[in-house]
Amino acid sequence: MQRFGYFLTLVMLSATISRAQVVRFQTSVGDFDLVLNPTSNPALQGHVDNILQYVLSGRYDDTVINRAARDQAGFPFVLQMGSFETLSPAVPGTINGFQPIPKFDSIQGAPAQQYGLSNSIGTVGLALRGDGFGGTDQNSGQSSFYINLIDNAYLDHDFAVFAQVANLTTVNTIMALPSIDLTLDPAFGADTNNFAFTEVPMLPNGNLVFIRKAFVVQNITNPKGDYNGNGKVDAADYVAWRNTQSTGIMGGGLAGDGDENGLIDDRDYNIWRVHFGAVAVSGAGVAAIPEPQTIWLVAVGLVSSIIRRRRTTFHNRV
């Protein structure tokens, strides 16, 4: 039974990734959306899957927006985030107060110039490490990403462009905040070449700027209540809602968030339910008991999933 539950989790995660088009970042200043792979380039699928791993696992939640960089002329350059979390809303006294978030494996690079793309204003790329020889390790991208605020075409040789910010209003608001160079404070303990802490944006009250929550926005091409992304509302969508509702993050992330409020709750259950001609119920929650017809539909969906899994297992062994 445990293996079956794990299989369901993988199926729902895969369905969410395949249909996801937009990720919303709720910050302490406002929201902004990343439109993932707007050119539908298959070479960028690895970058899309990578960022969705961090979103669906909740690893971007309550993380610091740590770099609001400007160029030598003082114009906005990039806004960078996705690397650190901290226990306090204020700047920690030492660099140890910024804890790196848990990382997934690095991904294969896809330099923009190879695919007719460019690091133009509003595009998004993954931060990369140096290769130790004065160049860039194109295959070192993980969680940290940046938003281009000027034309940075010189980055195209190494850095991929896998997303576009739909509206830069919130990003520009963050860039307009004062910033602090923490490397100038000997007590903080950061090397002056550590660009992660040279232009840290600050709120007027002196606190850091945070990503409060990141979640997938429902693809508008799919009907409301289609939580597994197969283009129709059926029993499998109830299973997706039930598992994501009970776990909060894993089991498909926010696949069951029908009203796109960043939560899996009874309202999302009702969105699914009305497709079967049922009226909305209050307090649906995890403990809600669907009507007999719904239970039968769910059972059919589960049996079908088991049969498909057995067939897949059989074929994989051949």
Tokens of 7: 């299989």
The 10 Å Cβ neighbour count of residue 227 is 33
Query: Which among 168, 189, 214 is the end of a domain?
Result: 214
Smallest CA-to-CA distance from 208 within 98, 46, 56, 47 is with 98
Same domain membership, residue 204 and residue 72? yes
Residue 155: predicted pLDDT: 96
End-to-end Cα distance, the chain:
24
When divided into structural domains, the chain yields a total of 2
Residue 304 is assigned to a structural domain of this protein:
yes
Does some domain include residue 7?
A: no
Residue 47, pLDDT score: 96
Domain with 120, as residue range(s), is 21-214
Residues 168 and 232 in one domain: no
Looking at residue 245, its pLDDT comes to: 65
Neighbours of 248 (CB within 10 A): 12
Q: Does residue 219 sit within a domain?
A: no
What is the per-residue pLDDT for 255? Answer: 64
pLDDT along the chain (318 residues), means of 10: 38 45 93 93 94 94 97 92 95 96 96 96 95 88 97 96 94 96 95 92 97 81 69 80 58 59 75 72 44 42 48 40
Together in a domain, 95 and 196: yes
Same domain, 207 and 277: no
Coil, strand or helix at 89: coil
Q: Please indicate, yes or no, whether residues 38 and 61 belong to a single structural domain of this protein.
A: yes
For 34, phi then psi, to 5°, come to: -100, 120
Residues 60 and 150 in one domain: yes
What is the C-alpha to C-alpha distance for residues 67 and 89, in angstroms, rounded to an integer? 16
Within a domain: 13: no
Residue 60 shares a structural domain with residue 180: yes
Position 173 in a domain: yes
94 and 237 together in one domain = no
Question: What are the tokens at 34?
Answer: 């990343």
Last residue of a domain, one of 148, 179, 214: 214
Q: List the CATH number of the domain containing 163.
A: 2.40.100.10
Nearby residues of 314 by Cβ (< 8 Å), 6 or more positions away: none
The confidence score (pLDDT) of residue 254 equals 56
Residues 50 and 152 in one domain: yes
**Is residue 259 situated within a structural domain?**
yes
Q: 120 and 174: one domain?
A: yes
Total-model pTM: 0.67
3-class secondary structure, 270 = helix
Q: What confidence tens digit (pLDDT) does each residue in 256-268 have?
A: 777 766 667 788 7
pLDDT at 221: 57
Distance of CA 14 to the CA centre of its chain: 14
Same domain? 42 vs 115: yes
Q: What is the pLDDT of residue 218?
A: 60
Are 205 and 242 in the same domain? no
* 235 found inside a domain: yes
Tell me whether residue 2 is in a domain: no
Q: Which of 214, 233, 253 is the last residue of a domain?
A: 214
Residues 252/12, Cβ–Cβ less than 8 Å: yes
